[in-house]
């Protein structure tokens, strides 16, 4: 009798203690993925044991390191509440498991850019907030009226001169109050774009 291959479910939760099964792993809240494909693989290392003894019968190998892989396709959708404050989408946990992280992003209005563009991933120096106060999200070219950035230190305020540490681009923030951006996915530790609304 063939297996019902469409009856598959994936759950994801962050371990609080490495190697210890997290409580509530199999709850519905951790299994809300919309999957179109999923497959798991196991890779168990076999350690050969050439033990000297009186018998010529070979000794069975011993299992060593055990690794598992998961390949899946899931729909990318926002939270049901529609706000980042309600918690980032469940699929964000999978990205964290791939070395990415959740970051606070903001946007602020800027004047004309000199020596641009600001480069995605570069650190921002601000005249008041200080050196390395933020990290640029998305290339910001001449003519842009806003810049998106990850907050690394003190929040950048109005009337500050921004300087990109790599590009040398400069711009002055306007009197417009910084608005919290709403990332729809976690941003990586290295440079990679994060869609913002």
Assess whether 182 and 133 both reside in one domain. yes
The per-residue pLDDT for 68 is 79
The 10s digit of each residue's pLDDT in 51-73 is 777 877 777 777 777 777 888 88
The per-residue pLDDT for 192 is 36
5 part of a folded domain: no
Assess whether 45 and 116 both reside in one domain. no
197 part of a folded domain: no
20 part of a folded domain: no
The 10s digit of each residue's pLDDT in 21-32 is 787 777 887 887
The per-residue pLDDT for 23 is 79
Predicted confidence band of residue 136 (pLDDT cuts 50, 70, 90) = very high
Longest dimension (CA), the chain: 86
The per-residue pLDDT for 115 is 92
| pLDDT surpassing 50 at residue 181 | no
> The tokens of 56 are what?
């010529």
Assess whether 70 and 105 both reside in one domain. no
CA 43 to chain centre: 26
84 part of a folded domain: no
CA 187 to chain centre: 4
39 part of a folded domain: yes
Q: What is the number of alpha carbons within 13 Å of residue 100 lying toward its C-beta? A: 17
Q: Which residues pair with 73 in a beta bridge?
A: 37
Tokens 């179109």, located at residue: 36
Structural domain for 138, as ranges: 101-188
> How far apart are the C-alpha atoms of 147 and 141, rounded to whole Å?
9
| Strand spans (E) along 119-169 | 123-126, 130-137, 146-151, 161-164
**Strand pairing report for 100-101 and 170-172:** unpaired
56 part of a folded domain: yes
137 part of a folded domain: yes
Cα-based angle 25, 27, 29 (whole degrees, multiple of 5): 105
80 part of a folded domain: no
Q: How many domains does the chain have?
A: 2
Q: What is the number of alpha carbons within 13 Å of residue 176 lying toward its C-beta? A: 15
The per-residue pLDDT for 58 is 76
Predicted confidence band of residue 118 (pLDDT cuts 50, 70, 90) = very high
Contact 133, 165 (CB under 8 A): no
Task: Please tell me whether residue 93 adopts helix, strand or coil conformation.
Answer: helix
């Amino acid at each position: 009798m063939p297996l019902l291959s469409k009856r598959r479910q994936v759950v994801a939760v962050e371990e609080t203690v490495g190697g210890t099964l997290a409580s509530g792993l199999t709850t519905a809240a951790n299994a809300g993925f919309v999957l179109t494909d999923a497959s798991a693989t196991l890779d168990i290392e076999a350690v050969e044991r050439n033990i000297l003894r009186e018998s010529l019968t070979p000794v069975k190998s011993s299992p060593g390191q055990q690794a598992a892989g998961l390949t899946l396709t899931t729909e990318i959708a926002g939270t049901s509440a529609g706000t980042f404050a309600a918690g980032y989408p469940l699929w964000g946990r999978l990205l964290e498991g791939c070395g990415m992280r959740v970051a606070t992003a903001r946007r602020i209005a800027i004047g004309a850019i000199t020596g641009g563009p600001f480069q995605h991933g570069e650190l921002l120096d601000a005249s008041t907030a200080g050196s390395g106060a933020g990290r640029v999200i998305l290339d910001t070219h001449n003519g842009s009226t806003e810049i998106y950035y990850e907050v690394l230190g003190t929040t950048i305020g109005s009337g500050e001169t921004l300087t990109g540490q790599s590009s040398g681009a400069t711009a002055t923030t306007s009197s417009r109050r910084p608005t919290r951006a709403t990332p729809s996915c976690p941003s990586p530790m290295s440079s990679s774009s994060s869609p913002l609304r």
